[in-house]
A and B are shown apart, each in its own frame.
Chain A
């Protein structure tokens, strides 16, 4: 018990003294996760919108596939991307392996189905009268889609927040594609795993505190947006 309290106290000291190594790791994690959320969002939101807003043959199959992809394990993605970007892979010449870009590619693949599926879900909860009202008031197809998007905005933001929460806490992709190189690809989760292996708990607990704080912030945001959406 005393050991745990000592670790937590030292970790808190580390956090509040803005330890450079800790800050560097947190900064890189945030940068990588925000970038992958941004990329996946700018692909997944329009994709979800196209699938959710239009009627086409095989729509339910597409949605089922997307929902299946939600359960894709990070190690499978890590392996898959590794085979493509490793030196012998299709994109080996780009030397992406063990760079932050490699982590971002993997994370985008991880959360693209999340954002797309949640966008479709958010749209499906939007009353069809919004679409009809926009049309009857003279909106063309694009303007109608924008009007519906506006009504679904809180649900879509919630989708992005949920996706960010997923990538900031994942470890498989960061470890397999980033390689946990100090000062270059070391993220909060990979650093914690390493510190644990070393038996150095202070930094690990410090990072855990930061990660939990970020998760708490994200969930507060998520609840806020979902609350606004459900109003």
Chain B
């Protein structure tokens, strides 16, 4: 059984398509990171998955049941999914009452509500705040209470919209720890969106990449708009202001180039030629990602390169190193 499935799902605003998902399946359990730049359609998708926003066309399935957005009892479905917004808002009452809200809606008995409120507050480390008015909390505290409010409902799915984008470093660590606890407790599937690749890599190995409302597939975040130039050797695409790749086909004048991060080759400067195009860059980020190492190389744009452990050991890169970046034809796809 899949948790969510979509077919030809589209959302349009004023004639502009902001989300276009021909097919998407999200597995029943675990944690999914929804990655993409601002305006990629992440929030729109989360609101649709929370059954708060009706798609303009297409079909959504939740746990193999087709979702009817016009149905009067949509709130029954909503009771299985809780969305925590990017800027959550607390009702103007105490933290404890905020957390009890969803439980009261579910008509749970009072002792059970009290137990779950305490349990959820403990989980986010906010027990001492139970009697405080929600209006008097900081951004990070509000985010944590909103998380507790979602956890307390024990939904099938928790959707988190950029849970750490508006909090300080300390609260970000706390929130990531809470997300890890939620993942390990395995009570709810978690789908969160972020534009922080490193954070996504820290929390889960299941990544979905959205760009301009479309899904780019797993581990395929290097999608860039590119201008096309032609010389005696063929067609070239300019990414950013200085990174040139040789294009495998004859494209139109404006294209999007996708570079598979696992097929990019990097080497110490001046050790390889670039028959297929590329350029030089500087390593600005490195993070362990399962069996691989994920590098971000500044080539005028942040380019993700995924190295096998062996390639990493052979190269021994350091942060700040200048490297040659080579993009062979098989690493490129054009849309």
Contacts and interface: CB of A to CB of B under 8 A. Distances in A.
A135 B87 CA distance: 16
A212 B216 CA distance: 70
Given A138-B153, A140-B75, A151-B92, A132 B85 contact: yes
B147 to A, nearest CB: 13
B52 A132 contact: yes
A150 B82 contact: no
B88 interface: yes
Interface string A2-26: 0000000000000000000000000
Interface stretch (B13-21, B55-63, B98-106, B196-204): B98-106
A135 B85 CA distance: 12
Most buried by B among A129, A130, A138, A140: A138
A193 interface: no
B79 A138 contact: yes
Contact of B101 (A129, A137, A141, A231): A137
Interface string A135-166: 11111110100010011000000000000000
Contacts of B144: none
Given A138-B78, A138-B79, A147 B89 contact: no
A134 interface: yes
A136 B53 CA distance: 11
A137 B85 contact: no
Contact of A150 (B75, B79, B91, B105): B91
Interface string A114-138: 0000000000000101101111111
Most buried by B among A133, A137, A143: A137
Nearest to A229: B92
B105 A137 contact: yes
B246 interface: no
B102 A127 contact: no
Enumerate the 8 nearest inter-chain pairs by beta-carbon distance, A residue then B residue, closest first: A137-B102, A129-B89, A138-B105, A138-B79, A136-B83, A140-B75, A139-B105, A138-B102
Interface of B: 50, 52, 75, 78-79, 81-83, 85, 87-89, 91-92, 101-102, 105-106, 135, 149-150, 153
Interface of A: 127, 129-130, 132-141, 143, 147, 150-151, 231
